[in-house]
């Protein structure tokens, strides 16, 4: 469901902009609300007051799911003539804040990507099953099982780098023979925490805060928009 709220300006340009920017990037959504605030005076000067996105149960193009996404962009500078015609083009990059929530199931789904399967095969672990679980103590557990490896559980602690972004650190020693495998899985986990697989075209996230609970992670992000997603 896509709801466009542009009650301060009824031009079809805003409806087209919101749909073009986000609906085309999402396969399905339990709920997706896009609210654009502006007025004729601001738009004539090439400015959208704000753009707010609130989504629940979003399935992205890569069939990856987000439990929740909230995004607020303000002071968006656009090319006014094109905007009035429904063709939104940024005059300069815009920044905002976001909050994203992933469940255990969402996180687990990101570990069943074809590229990760290819990497595991290349390392000699083609039939290894991986189960991830977000823990109440703030860590991520990865449990491996299969013909090529005995049942093994690794625990990683996510932390925020000084310049932003999530880093995973193993909380126990890993046998040297298994370190290449652990590195591949650590990298995959960081990609999920950093929302690299959930970004839309023209929109990037830098994770600035996280809270891990049992079965749930909440990510606070700085959002940078260089173009409206197509």
Q: What is the pLDDT of residues 30-76, one digit of tens each?
A: 988 888 777 777 777 888 888 888 899 999 877 789 999 999 988 88
Which domain covers residue 150, as residue numbers?
A: 107-193
Indicate the pTM of the whole model: 0.86
The CA distance from 132 to 175, in Å, is 20
Q: Which two tokens stand for residue 229?
A: 């997603």
Give tens-digit pLDDT for 90-100. 888 889 999 99
| Whether residue 170 is found in the same domain as residue 145 | yes
In this structure, the answer to whether residues 184 and 137 fall within a common structural domain is yes
Do the domain assignments include residue 187? yes
> Residue 211 falls within a domain, yes or no?
no
Are 172 and 178 in contact by the 8 Å Cβ rule? The answer is: no
Number of domains the chain is built from: 2
Report the phi/psi class of residue 157: left, alpha or beta, with left for phi > 0 and alpha for psi in -120 to 50: beta
For residues 118 and 74, membership in a common domain is answered with: no
């Amino acid at each position: 469901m896509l709801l466009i709220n542009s009650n301060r300006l009824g031009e079809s340009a805003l409806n087209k902009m919101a749909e073009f920017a986000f609906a085309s990037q999402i396969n399905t959504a339990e709920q997706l609300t896009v609210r654009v605030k502006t007025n004729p005076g601001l738009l004539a000067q090439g400015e959208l007051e704000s753009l707010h996105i609130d989504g629940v149960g979003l399935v992205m193009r890569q069939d990856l799911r987000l439990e929740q996404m909230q995004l607020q962009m303000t002071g968006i500078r656009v090319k006014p003539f094109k905007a009035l015609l429904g063709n939104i083009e940024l005059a300069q990059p815009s920044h905002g804040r976001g909050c994203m929530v992933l469940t255990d199931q969402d996180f687990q789904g990101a570990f069943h990507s074809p590229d990760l399967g290819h990497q595991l095969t290349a390392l000699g672990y083609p039939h290894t099953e991986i189960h991830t679980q977000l823990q109440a103590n703030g860590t991520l557990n990865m449990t491996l099982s299969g013909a090529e490896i005995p049942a093994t559980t690794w625990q990683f602690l996510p932390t925020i780098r000084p310049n932003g972004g999530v880093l995973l650190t193993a909380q126990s020693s890993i046998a040297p023979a298994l370190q290449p495998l652990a590195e591949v899985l650590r990298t995959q986990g960081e990609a999920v925490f950093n929302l690299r697989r959930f970004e839309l075209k023209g929109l990037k996230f830098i994770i600035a805060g996280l809270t891990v609970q049992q079965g749930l992670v909440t990510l606070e992000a700085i959002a940078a928009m260089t173009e409206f997603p197509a």
